[in-house]
Amino acid sequence: MLKIQRHSVNIDFHQAKWNEPIIFELHQPGEVGVEVPQACQEVVDVVGDGISVLPQNIKRANKPNLPEIGQARVLRHYVRLSQETLGSDFNVEIGQGTCTMKYIPKINELLIRNAKLMELHPLQDVSTVQGMLEIIHNMDLAMREISGMDAFSFQPSGGTQALFAMASIVRKYFEVKGEADQRNEIITTIFSHPSQAATAVVKGYKIITLHPDENGFPDIEKLKEVVSERTAGFVVANPEDTGIYNSKIEEFTKIVHDAGGICYYDQANANGLLGITRAKEAGFDMCFFNLHKTFAAPHMCGGPATGALGVTEELKPYLPGPIVEKNGDQYVLNDQLEHSIGKVRAFHGVAQTILRSYAWIRALGQDGLKAVAEIAVLNNNYLYSKVSKIRGASVPYVQGQRLEQVRYSWEQLEKETGVTTEDVQRRMTDFGLHYWTSHHPYIVPQPFTLEPTESYSKADLDEYIHALEQISMEAYENPEVVKNAPQNSTIHQLIEADYLDDPAKWCTSWRVYQEKVKNEAEITS
């Protein structure tokens, strides 16, 4: 037998391409996707058709124009679409920096598919949901240990909603103090998630944005300048999107506290910090963790998710209710929170995600959690060392001092070859790898943000690095390969032109597309 010569990395990748029609094109009149439960004959004998009781004006005149498709074809359609989706189970997903794409343990998926969770109604008598409440309470206790905060709500169902809840608490707090009109500003930083600023605006705040100093730290002198009796809150991540840890964070929170403001900490991603440093010691009044990031719940194409919101004792009465508490040996729902902002999300939040993250914490234990942080930081610094050596790549601002992620730049690559970070992004899909640029605005030119987490092995990291090296080489030697990418993805380059921004051309749904296609055909004929 001759040795079969193989590449150690995946350079011959090609993504699935099924060329699936739009679901409406599968319509075959008469086909049935599922048999719908009917009322039994005895019920029908008593009540008749059930619909005649409705006045004409509240009956639907025509059935909805949904397609009729047999069950197997519906399944095949969606399974094929799933194959045209590069989930993190399928790739070394370190290219989505800030989002902590880590291994999603299969055991947790098995655990949530339990009728004793799936088929629970949120309003059941508490005596019948003690197990679920115990899980939420245990999760609360674990989060308190990790953050130093005193109470958690799991109602916010995403980081954005947690940020919104925190801005709501800030407002309510100053309403109670009688300072709501006076304190109308929230300070944030440019290297933060857009939702920090955006949610504060919804709560009526004026936004003040701190830009980085020459080393990439939020500008502390600027903070001193802008804090005042108008300051309601200061929201920040640490590390920020650059991965740089701000060692002066305690000074920042003190400056804001001295001015009478509240400090809230965006810990959507806390992956480098578990067991290392906490919100409390840094002087924060509130923080939140995305359970779908640091705590290994899946991202699910973008939710449902959980932004676990923690507060100090002083702010506990402001939490959205109810919160789970232990009373003797019983778990209860406490909705008697004196200054509660009310609610931000229906019922209790996303129970499956809470359970998954609880299971993840229990699978790691306190030592394991610390190992998560340490290896995430090790992996990131290894990647940093390798990627910063790639031709055309650089790391702006202070060198070193990166924890779990790094924001890199292809500024030099773009200057020397014309290849942009978006070109690299498309080319990475040819290797079966995801790559994200960064949030707007691009303060770092031609940015990309990598976060390797603890989940990936050295070999995985090397595979990703190899792909970046390959693309850099192509950019210098044969840039067209990169510029014309992707070639091995499900589809080729999109023609965006005006199709997405011109109301005359955009198609928000299949019915709009069909109408516009028909109109175009009429015009051209």
Partner 1 sequence: MSKKVHPYIPNMVPEVKQKMLDEIGVHSIKELYSCIPEKLRFKGTMNIPKALNELELRRHIEGLLNKNVSTNEYLNFLGAGCWQHFIPAVCDEVNQRAEFLTAYAGEPYEDHGRFQALFEYQSLMAELVDMEVVNVPTFDWAQAAATSIRMASRITKRTKVLLANTVSPERKKIITNYGTPQLTFEDVDFNLNTGLMDLTDLERKLSNDVAAIYFENPSYLGFIESQGQEISNLAKKYGAIMVVGVDPISLGILAQPSQYGADIVCGDLQPLGMHMNFSGGQAGFIATHNDPTFINEYPSRLFGIIPTVQEGEYGFGDIAYDRTSFADRENGKESVGTQTALWGITAGVYLSLMGPNGMYELGQAIMQNSQYAVMQLNKIKNIRGSRITSPFFKEFMIDFNDTGLTVEEVNKQLLEHKIFGGKDLSKEFPQYGQSALYCVTEVHTKEDIDKLVSVLSKVVTK
Q: How far is the CB of 39 from partner 1 (least distance, A)?
A: 4
**Site membership for partner 1, residue 182 (CB under 8 A):** no
**Site membership for partner 1, residue 130 (CB under 8 A):** yes
**Site membership for partner 1, residue 518 (CB under 8 A):** no
| Segment near partner 1 (CB under 8 A); pick from 2-10, 119-127, 219-227, 258-266 | 119-127
Q: How far is the CB of 147 from partner 1 (least distance, A)?
A: 10
| Segment near partner 1 (CB under 8 A); pick from 4-12, 255-263, 308-316, 450-458 | 450-458
| Segment near partner 1 (CB under 8 A); pick from 3-11, 71-79, 224-232, 473-481 | 71-79
**Site membership for partner 1, residue 4 (CB under 8 A):** no
Distance CA 409, CA 422 (A): 12
Distance CA 98, CA 195 (A): 13
User: Which own/partner contact pairs does 247-254 have at CB distance under 8 Å and 24+ positions apart?
Assistant: 248/217, 248/220, 249/282, 249/283, 250/281, 250/282, 250/283, 251/220, 252/218, 252/220, 252/223, 253/282, 253/283, 253/284, 254/283
Chain positions 225 to 264 lying near partner 1, rule: CB under 8 A, are 244-245, 247, 249-250
**Site membership for partner 1, residue 157 (CB under 8 A):** yes
Chain positions 7 to 46 lying near partner 1, rule: CB under 8 A, are 15, 19-20, 22-24, 31-34, 36-40, 42-44, 46
The SS3 assignment for 428 reads helix
**Site membership for partner 1, residue 189 (CB under 8 A):** no
- 409, 414, 395, 387: which is closest to 468 by C-alpha? 387
| CB nearer to partner 1: pick between 49 and 221 | 49
Q: 360, exposed or middle or buried, with CB in 10 Å at 0-12, 13-18, 19+?
A: buried
| Strand (E) or helix (H) holding 189 | strand 185-189
| Segment near partner 1 (CB under 8 A); pick from 110-118, 218-226, 258-266, 406-414 | 110-118
Half-sphere exposure of 490 (CA within 13 A, CB side): 12
Q: How far is CA 454 from CA 176, 272, 376, 378, in A?
A: 43, 9, 4, 8
Among 6, 302, 328, 329, binds partner 1 (CB under 8 A): 302
Number of residues located near partner 1, criterion CB under 8 A: 216
Mutual orientation of helices 194-202 and 159-177 as an angle, nearest 10°?
40
Q: What angle do CA 429, 432, 433 make, to 5 degrees?
A: 70
**Site membership for partner 1, residue 71 (CB under 8 A):** yes
Q: How far is the CB of 1 from partner 1 (least distance, A)?
A: 31
Q: How far is the CB of 341 from partner 1 (least distance, A)?
A: 5
Among 1, 2, 4, 53, binds partner 1 (CB under 8 A): 53
**Contact at 8 Å (CB) between 363 and 105?**
yes
**Site membership for partner 1, residue 176 (CB under 8 A):** no
**Contact at 8 Å (CB) between 147 and 162?**
no
Among 176, 201, 314, 442, binds partner 1 (CB under 8 A): 201
